[in-house]
Amino acid sequence: MPSPNLPSGATALLVGFLKLPIGVVKYAANEPIITGGLLYLLTRGPPHLRERLLGPFQNNLLANNGAGRLAMIVTALKVLAGLGIWKRINRALNAFALNGWRFSRAGASFEFGPAKTELVVITGACSGFGFEMVKGFSEKARIVALDISPFPAELARLPDVHYYQCDVSDSAAIVKVCEEVRKAHGNASVLINNAGIGIGKTVLETTNEECEKLFKVNLISHFALIREFLPGMLEMRKGHIVTIASMASFYAAPGILDYCCSKVGVLYLNDGLRGECLTRYEGGEAICTSSIHPTWHRTRIIKGFEKTLEKRGFAIHPAVNVSNVVVDQVLRGKSGRIHVPLSEESFASLRSWPLWLQDIVLGYAWRPRKGHWMSITKT
């Protein structure tokens, strides 16, 4: 005999679903286990379960033209379940392609663990994501921390963590420091290009000097560091280059256009480097490439903008959310394109939407000036 708790539980689930915050509803709508489960109950479930599930809505939502509205709900659940399944399949195929169309990576094995065989180089290591990544990797590998800022005492106390002061906007300084690193520690097996700056001004408000420095730090330094460490990785037949990009890689936000352009650049560098490793470099199939695309997180780059962002309705997440993703990705030895949080993945396709739809979503259709939801000013 069916459990009497199941119908009431299913009813409570549907009633509660309609009352949940937008973020939770969005998650449920994209989760095929949930939409598929509801679809099954409404179309193939036992009649007594279906009656109890729909009972609370017979006198309101389904009071008039109940059969027609129920058919619309079923159709919507079919569409959502189908899209959810397709997203899962698409994500799996993308992961397979990103890893060289292999189920296991080629080349030598990574040896992360107490022996600390591997060497991880992290730029922008003194704060934000970099600070948390140093802590996250410290028990699994030797760390070289590069940053122009003084090294925090908390990180200096960690074993096998080595700090080198370096201005990554200076390519000559990068070459010099990398030579010192190789002489002292050998070849790096992991490079995490994390250093980044933001200005938060419009094109007309930004000086040429500010713009040039941003591109040197956010983009040009990636090229210089890859040239320094990729040859050693190819020689060892193992390596992982991690690019800290941004959700700004996928759309141009007013007030941070230079930042967005630099993040488009690092995404293309990551993707193009993957192609070169697969087609141009001997042993390149053994090199992992990962791009990480965070939304707003508590780092120096948004310091002073927090109140404005929160007023605009943006959630600000802790930096450790990103560092945890990076550490896990590197330890697994897999290539990837990862959005943090994962719920933002759907916005990565914004550029492929029709222009009129992009304008509506971004609020351009109403030609706002001050007070636009994407306007970001320091407070």
208 is a domain residue = yes
Q: Is residue 12 part of a domain?
A: yes
- Verify that 170 and 81 share a domain, yes or no: no
- Compute the CA torsion angle 156, 158, 161, 164 (nearest 10 deg): -10
CATH number assigned to the domain comprising residue 315:
3.40.50.720
- What phi and psi values does residue 152 have, to the nearest 5 degrees? -65, 140
Is 40 noted as a catalytic residue in this protein? no
Per-residue model confidence (pLDDT) at position 116:
97
Same domain for 155 and 90? no
Same domain? 55 vs 191: no
Task: Looking at the structure, tell me whether residues 164 and 255 fall in a common domain.
Answer: yes
Residues 6+ apart with CB under 8 A from 214: 197, 198, 199, 258, 259, 262
Please, where are the H alpha helices in the chain?
Answer: 5-17, 22-29, 32-43, 47-54, 66-98, 128-137, 153-156, 171-185, 208-215, 221-236, 257-279, 306-311, 320-332, 355-362
- Residue 373 falls within a domain, yes or no? no
Q: What is the pLDDT of residue 277?
A: 96
CB 58 within 8 A of CB 52: no
- State whether 71 and 203 are in the same domain: no
Q: What is the pLDDT of residue 204?
A: 96
Given the residues 116, 263, 303, 307, the one annotated as active site: 263
Domain-located, residue 355: no
Digitized pLDDT (tens) for each residue of the chain, 379 residues in all:
333 343 444 444 444 444 455 556 667 777 888 888 888 888 888 888 888 878 887 778 777 877 888 888 889 888 888 988 988 898 888 888 888 888 778 889 999 999 999 999 999 999 999 999 999 999 999 999 999 999 999 999 999 999 999 999 999 999 999 999 999 999 999 999 999 999 989 999 999 999 999 999 999 999 999 999 999 999 999 999 999 999 999 988 899 999 999 999 999 999 999 999 999 999 999 999 999 999 989 888 887 777 777 777 788 899 999 999 999 999 999 999 999 998 888 888 888 889 998 888 888 887 665 544 445 544 3
Q: Is 243 in the same domain as 314? A: yes
Domain contains 113: no
Q: Do residues 341 and 240 both lie within one domain? A: yes
**Given the residues 140, 259, 364, 378, the one annotated as active site:** 259
User: Is residue 301 located within the same domain as residue 181?
Assistant: yes
User: What local confidence, expressed as pLDDT, does residue 156 receive?
Assistant: 97
Domain shared by 154 and 301, yes or no: yes
Residue 149: phi, psi to the nearest 5?
-85, 160
Residue 114 lies in a domain: no
362 domain-assigned: no
Residues 149, 281, single domain; the answer is yes
How many structural domains compose the chain? 2
- Of 63, 98, 133, the last residue of a domain is 98
Domain of 65 in residue numbering reads as 5-98
CB 107, CB 345: distance < 8 Å: no
Residues 323 and 234 placed together within one structural domain of the fold: yes
How many angstroms separate the CA atoms of 262 and 219, rounded? 6
Clarify whether 307 is annotated catalytic: no
SS (H, E, C) 98-158: HCCCCCCCCCCCCCCCCCCCCEEEEECCCCHHHHHHHHHHCCCCEEEEEECCCCCHHHHCC
Q: Is residue 71 part of a domain?
A: yes
- Clarify whether residues 88 and 133 are in a common domain: no
Domain boundary among 35, 63, 98: 98
